[in-house]
Amino acid sequence: MDASRKAKALTFSYDDGVESDRKLVSILNKYGMKCTFNLNSGLMTRASNWNYNGLQVFHMNATEVGDLYAGHEIASHTLTHADLIYLDDDTVSNEILTDRKHLQSMFGQPIRGMAYPVGYYDERVEKIVGQCGIFYARTTVSTHSFGIPDDLLAYHPTCHHDDEDLFELAKRFLELETETPQVFYVWGHSYEFDGKKNWDRLERFCELMAGRQDIDYCTNSEALLRD
Ligand SMILES: [Zn+2]
């Protein structure tokens, strides 16, 4: 392992590129947290919106994103948030490669990861994702653990931010003594904090985890490229 890296890493993964990402980024930045934002370059417009818990959720206009995500990682969430399982091979590739190309040129950084829209994937999709040059792809299956799996193209996160065990897992991670790389990987959507009015949950979690000498605060790529 790179000597400058610590064995324990905390990383976040948030999907869809919606307007409440502004508040999410401001909280993460305040506590020195790093996140990976999974974006759909074909849906970066307020014309794409939906209702969640009585709240209208808007994708951000591409022209208004600016440097919001500076210091964080951008990853693919496919071009159109497609359910990849039902698409033919060429269309799956197009969803990933075209999104990647757009995001690379918009944000000027290599796009190396992705999150499966709605968490849907199967063996065929996973194989195509790998052929497209993506090295890790997140699912929505919680492991409640911190180990890094061999198969990064079906990367199961530690938990969603609303998981009832979030703070118990946080305690376990803080107390963990290890020399093997371990990752606490939290995922979600920023609009869920608005819809459930529980932004305080994120603040409490970040406050608890921040500023620890033995934890690296990093993006998904940084957390998974630690060996
Ligand atoms: Zn999504």
Which pLDDT tens digit goes with each residue over 209-226?
Answer: 999 999 999 999 999 986
Inside any domain, residue 2: no
Q: Ligand 1 centre from 2 Cα, in Å?
A: 33
Higher pLDDT, residue 5 or 217: 217
Q: Which of 69, 126, 125, 80 is nearest to 102 (CA)?
A: 80
Give Cβ neighbours of residue 219 (< 8 Å, ≥ 6 apart): 11, 34, 35, 36, 72, 73
Asked if residue 93 has pLDDT above 70, the reply is: yes
Inside any domain, residue 3: no
Q: What is the pLDDT of residue 225?
A: 86
| β-pairing verdict for 73-76 and 35-39 | parallel
Calpha distance 209→138 (Å, rounded): 22
Q: Is residue 125 within 8 Å of residue 84, measured between CB atoms?
A: yes
How many structural domains is the chain composed of?
Answer: 1
Crossing angle, helix 89-107 and helix 123-131, to 10 degrees? 40
Q: Ligand 1 centre from 161 Cα, in Å?
A: 15
192: containing domain: 8-224
In this prediction, residues 123-144 reach a mean pLDDT of 98
Inside any domain, residue 112: yes
In this prediction, residues 74-80 reach a mean pLDDT of 98
Q: What is the pTM of this model?
A: 0.96
Any idea what the CATH number is for the domain that residue 213 is in?
A: 3.20.20.370
Q: Ligand 1 centre from 117 Cα, in Å?
A: 5
